[in-house]
């Protein structure tokens, strides 16, 4: 092949040559040399081998970690611990256009509280949707503790689709956790407050008027959205409801929420009272709430709920009368309540106790059935005696917090915050199997799919609170430390430290990568935040600008390497909306869009339509451009917004002088012919193979055909101009033909490489 010019040459090199030099240099060193030079032990090497994912290969599991105060979700691969994405949830995220385009602003707006924007979140617990208690890879949910909200993320495109605000809480912690068929997503209050919260209530009225609760958000799987109207809550005492979990298998229909500060202590060092910490841990026990949520849902359907702030709330009185709410004592300041994969046991840790308590669902149900209670709490909720609910208690160490399960029967892992250890133990026999020190104070931990009915074992990630001296120092604020641990053998083995520089990730969930099937493009003209056709979408050739009064609406398109329209002319004071549809079909052909100084940005993936809106409040010249390096001519993907002053009169400007000659034109034509030869050879390769068996290649071929289709008009124009000896226009239109060719060749080469790498077969004519 002989083309050509710089761009195509670069494409061809990238497509396959130029690797030979690297591989020979690699072979000259021995493994021993590297170990010596880098001071690595055999064990280090083993750990590296267990985590290294070679170039081009993928991870076995995908982790969704809470991004803590960043209000985002971090997606990374296991075992490589490579970060793949930050999903924007409660906080604006410029790359994805989140909070900078109109579609995502509408999602963030759903999260307003009392009419105020809240542009951050304290995310704690992500949850993957389940079918029959097993992960189905369809949706992800995450809570915001600070401003009681819950978000829905669709795993078809990893985008946040909905934010709901809790109508009766002022904080929430025990969410998100899903019921075995994702009928409901649970959210439990943390810090009690008056439910209606319409008026001031003094702390002295805490016991009487402050309340906790749990909310069951109804999830409409078909719509992929929370059904706010059919959601409900249970009013609970002003204990600090903490974490929750849903029953499954035999315990399906029930949910469990632990609590602390059942002392109902309200602090007040200002009034010379002992501080919160002292008052909130004075008693030896707190309460686990045991709730029959299926029956609660029926009560709501029967109209037995009260409306508070327009939301269904089952009051304590009703819950007690109908027998859907019970309490079980749990050791001092508990944390975490984790239902075993078979649904038979609930494990609660005592932060200030060295034990974990394993409760038996059967025993609790037997006590409920026999109405065997040791008494009632101050609100009249029946209390089941600890001994009538406990299967066993196991001494694990200091500061147990959270528990996860292995694929091996009866094996659980519990984080020990104070000891900075992970304890592996048998919850059926009640014995410790192994302990591993980690760095440093561990909060949550996660085993692969370890909170579903189908745990996979293999790895455990310790989500550590403090990194202290583990990484290169970056100032007083340190990253968080996620440590990867091999749990496939009898002894746990520490494999890898990953610094996470994005808020304090409390909890993380992980899923077998095979269960995720995200799309690579949208149906033409989709609003990705509503999953519906975007009213601003147009097809190629339909682009237009519409003015109504002082409102200007642009209906444009994006395709390598062109923004249509190329100029937008408005008058100062106009309200401008720019809708852009990405016409590409090829995988990963995203275009970005911004207009200088108007604080707008959109990330427009293939098929998506996004819009940005602003007031053109100052006359002047504002370049707009594509922000994503999308092709060799990405920098040329540009245009101008021209904001004209009031009363501006068009002035005649002399046309630019011709600079191109007949010679230039002839050179262009030669270049076109040479390039066409390359395109023909690539097309020959593709069509002589079974490319139709590869949907990704079919998309690329469609894109290339698009580009070549656009060539015809430019070709006619350069030929006509040449006939008229207008060498200026002839040369420029010929250049445009070549531009289309280059783009088609770029796409064609990508298709060819794909076919070669995926073992496409030759087909007979
Ligand atoms: Cu233990 Cu919010 Cu789940 Cu933090 S919580 S660790
Ligand atoms: Cu499109 Cu850069």
Q: Outline where DSSP puts E strands in 24-90.
A: 61-66, 72-78, 83-88
DSSP 354: S
pLDDT at 725 over 90: yes
Which ligand sits nearest to residue 143's alpha carbon? 1
- 466: its two tokens: 């403090």
pLDDT at 4: 39
Which ligand sits nearest to residue 68's alpha carbon? 1
pLDDT at 5: 43
Ligand 2 atom showing the smallest separation from residue 626 Cα: 2
Ligand 1 atom showing the smallest separation from residue 507 Cα: 3
Report how far ligand 2's centroid is from the alpha carbon of 590 (Å): 7
Contacting residues for 447 by C-beta, under 8 A, at least 6 apart: 404, 405, 406, 413, 455, 456, 457, 458, 459, 460, 487, 510
Check if 585 has its Cβ closer than 6 Å to any atom of ligand 1: no
| Average pLDDT of the chain, as a whole number | 93
pLDDT grade for 3, boundaries at 50, 70 and 90: very low
pLDDT grade for 16, boundaries at 50, 70 and 90: very low
pLDDT grade for 653, boundaries at 50, 70 and 90: confident
Report the predicted TM-score, pTM, of the whole model to 2 decimal places. 0.91
CA–CA dist 744, 8 (Å, integer): 11
Which ligand sits nearest to residue 594's alpha carbon? 2
pLDDT at 26: 59
pLDDT at 608: 98
State whether residue 685 is helix, strand or coil: helix
Instruction: Spell 651-683 as b/e; 16+ CB within 10 A means b.
Output: eeeeeeeeebeeebbeebbebbebbbebbeebb
CA–CA dist 466, 439 (Å, integer): 7
pLDDT in tens, 29-87: 899 999 999 999 999 999 999 999 999 999 999 999 999 999 999 999 999 999 999 99
pLDDT in tens, 282-332: 888 999 999 999 999 999 999 999 999 999 999 999 999 999 999 999 998
pLDDT in tens, 624-650: 999 999 988 899 999 999 999 998 998
Report how far ligand 1's centroid is from the alpha carbon of 506 (Å): 5
State whether residue 245 is helix, strand or coil: strand
For ligand 2, which residues put their CB under 6 angstroms from it? 591, 626, 628-630, 634, 637
Ligand 2 atom showing the smallest separation from residue 560 Cα: 1
Torsional sign, CA 525, 529, 531, 534: negative
pLDDT at 597 over 60: yes
pLDDT at 283: 85
Check if 529 has its Cβ closer than 6 Å to any atom of ligand 1: no
Which ligand sits nearest to residue 631's alpha carbon? 2
pLDDT at 387 over 80: yes
Tell me what the mean pLDDT of segment 233-240 comes to.
Answer: 97
Ligand 1 atom showing the smallest separation from residue 417 Cα: 6
pLDDT at 14: 38
> Cα(first)–Cα(last) distance of the chain, in Å?
24
CA–CA dist 81, 1 (Å, integer): 42
pLDDT at 17 over 60: no
Check if 443 has its Cβ closer than 6 Å to any atom of ligand 1: yes
Tell me what the mean pLDDT of segment 401-410 comes to.
Answer: 97
pLDDT in tens, 126-174: 999 999 999 999 999 999 999 999 999 999 999 999 999 999 999 999 9
pLDDT grade for 27, boundaries at 50, 70 and 90: low
pLDDT at 19: 42
Contact 628, 634 (CB under 8 A): yes
Burial class (CB in 10 A: 0-12, 13-18, 19+), 302: exposed
- 64: its two tokens: 């969704």
pLDDT at 12 over 50: no
Closest C-alpha to ligand 2, atom 1 = 591
pLDDT at 250 over 80: yes
Report how far ligand 1's centroid is from the alpha carbon of 125 (Å): 8
CA–CA dist 580, 415 (Å, integer): 49
Ligand 1 atom showing the smallest separation from residue 401 Cα: 1
In this structure, the strands spanning 382-383 and 83-88 are unpaired
pLDDT at 11 over 80: no
At residue 396, φ and ψ (nearest 5 deg) are -110, -35
Which ligand sits nearest to residue 126's alpha carbon? 1
Ligand 2 atom showing the smallest separation from residue 627 Cα: 2
Check if 173 has its Cβ closer than 6 Å to any atom of ligand 1: yes
CA–CA dist 189, 148 (Å, integer): 8
Contact 123, 68 (CB under 8 A): yes
Tell me what the mean pLDDT of segment 584-603 comes to.
Answer: 96
Check if 125 has its Cβ closer than 6 Å to any atom of ligand 1: yes
């Amino acid at each position: 092949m002989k083309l050509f010019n710089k761009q195509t040459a670069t494409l061809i090199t990238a497509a396959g040559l130029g690797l030979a030099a690297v591989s020979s240099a690699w072979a000259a060193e021995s493994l021993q040399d590297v170990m010596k030079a880098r001071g690595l032990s055999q064990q280090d090497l083993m750990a590296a081998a267990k985590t290294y994912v070679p170039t081009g290969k993928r991870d076995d599991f995908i982790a969704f970690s809470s991004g803590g105060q960043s209000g985002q979700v971090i997606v990374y691969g296991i075992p490589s611990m490579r970060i793949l994405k930050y999903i924007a949830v409660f906080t604006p995220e410029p790359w994805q256009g989140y909070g900078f385009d109109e579609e995502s602003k509408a999602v963030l707006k759903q999260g307003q509280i009392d009419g105020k924007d809240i542009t951050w979140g304290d995310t704690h617990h992500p949850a993957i949707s389940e079918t029959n208690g097993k992960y189905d890879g369809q949706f992800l949910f995450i809570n915001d503790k600070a401003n009681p909200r819950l978000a829905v993320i669709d795993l078809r495109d990893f985008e946040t689709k909905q934010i709901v605000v809790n109508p009766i809480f002022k904080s929430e912690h025990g969410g998100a956790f899903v019921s075995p068929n994702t009928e409901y997503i649970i959210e439990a209050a943390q810090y009690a407050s008056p439910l209606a919260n319409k008026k001031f209530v003094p702390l002295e009225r805490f016991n009487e008027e402050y309340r906790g609760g749990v909310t069951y958000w109804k999830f409409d799987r078909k719509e992929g959205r929370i059904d706010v109207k059919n959601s409900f809550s249970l009013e609970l005492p002003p204990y600090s409801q903490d974490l929750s979990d849903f029953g499954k298998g035999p315990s399906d229909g029930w949910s469990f929420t632990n609590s602390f500060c059942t002392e109902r202590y309200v602090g007040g060092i200002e009034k010379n009272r002992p501080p919160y910490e002292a008052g909130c841990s004075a008693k030896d026990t707190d309460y686990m709430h045991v709730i029959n949520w299926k029956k609660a849902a029926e009560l709501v359907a029967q109209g037995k709920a009260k409306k508070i702030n327009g939301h269904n709330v089952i009051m304590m009185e009703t819950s007690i009368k109908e027998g859907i709410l019970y309490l079980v004592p749990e050791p001092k300041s508990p944390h975490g309540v984790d239902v075993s994969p078979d649904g038979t046991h609930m494990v609660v840790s005592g932060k200030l106790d060295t034990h974990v308590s394993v409760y038996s669902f059967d025993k609790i149900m037997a006590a409920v059935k026999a109405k065997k209670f040791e008494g009632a709490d101050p609100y009249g909720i029946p209390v089941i005696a600890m001994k009538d609910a406990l299967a066993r208690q196991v001494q694990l160490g200091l500061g147990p917090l959270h528990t996860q399960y292995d694929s091996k029967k009866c094996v659980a892992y519990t984080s020990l915050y104070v000891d900075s250890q992970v304890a592996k133990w048998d919850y059926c026999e009640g014995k410790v199997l192994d302990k591993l020190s980690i760095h440093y104070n561990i909060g949550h931990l996660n085993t692969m799919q370890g909170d579903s009915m189908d745990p996979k074992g293999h790895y455990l990630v310790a989500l550590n609170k403090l990194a202290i001296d583990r990484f290169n120092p970056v100032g007083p604020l340190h990253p968080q430390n996620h440590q990867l641990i091999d749990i496939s053998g009898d002894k746990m083995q520490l494999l890898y430290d990953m610094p996470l520089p994005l808020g304090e990730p409390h909890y993380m969930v992980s899923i077998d990568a095979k269960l995720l099937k995200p799309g690579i493009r949208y149906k033409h003209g989709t609003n990705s935040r509503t999953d519906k056709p975007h009213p601003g979408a147009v097809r190629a050739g339909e682009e237009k600008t519409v003015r109504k009064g002082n409102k200007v609406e642009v209906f444009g398109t994006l395709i390598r390497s062109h923004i249509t329209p190329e100029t937008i002319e408005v008058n100062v004071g106009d309200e401008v909306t720019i809708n852009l549809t990405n016409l590409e079909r090829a995988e990963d052909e995203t275009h970005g869009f911004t207009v200088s100084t108007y604080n707008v940005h959109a990330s427009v993936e293939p098929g998506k339509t996004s819009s940005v809106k602003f007031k053109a409040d100052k006359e002047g010249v504002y370049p707009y451009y594509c922000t994503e390096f999308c092709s060799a001519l990405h920098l040329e993907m540009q245009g101008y917004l021209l904001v004209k002053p009031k009363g501006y009169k068009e002035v005649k400007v002399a046309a630019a002088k011709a600079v191109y000659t007949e010679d230039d034109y002839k050179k262009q034509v030669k270049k076109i012919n040479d390039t066409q030869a390359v395109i023909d050879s690539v097309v020959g390769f593709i069509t002589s193979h079974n490319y139709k068996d590869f949907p990704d290649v079919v998309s690329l071929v469609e894109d290339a055909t698009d580009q070549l289709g656009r060539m015809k008009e430019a070709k006619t124009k350069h030929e006509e101009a040449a006939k008229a000896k207008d060498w200026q226009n002839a040369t420029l239109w010929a250049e445009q033909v070549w531009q289309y060719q280059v783009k088609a060749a770029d796409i064609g080469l990508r298709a060819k490489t794909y076919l070669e790498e995926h073992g496409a077969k030759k087909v007979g004519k």
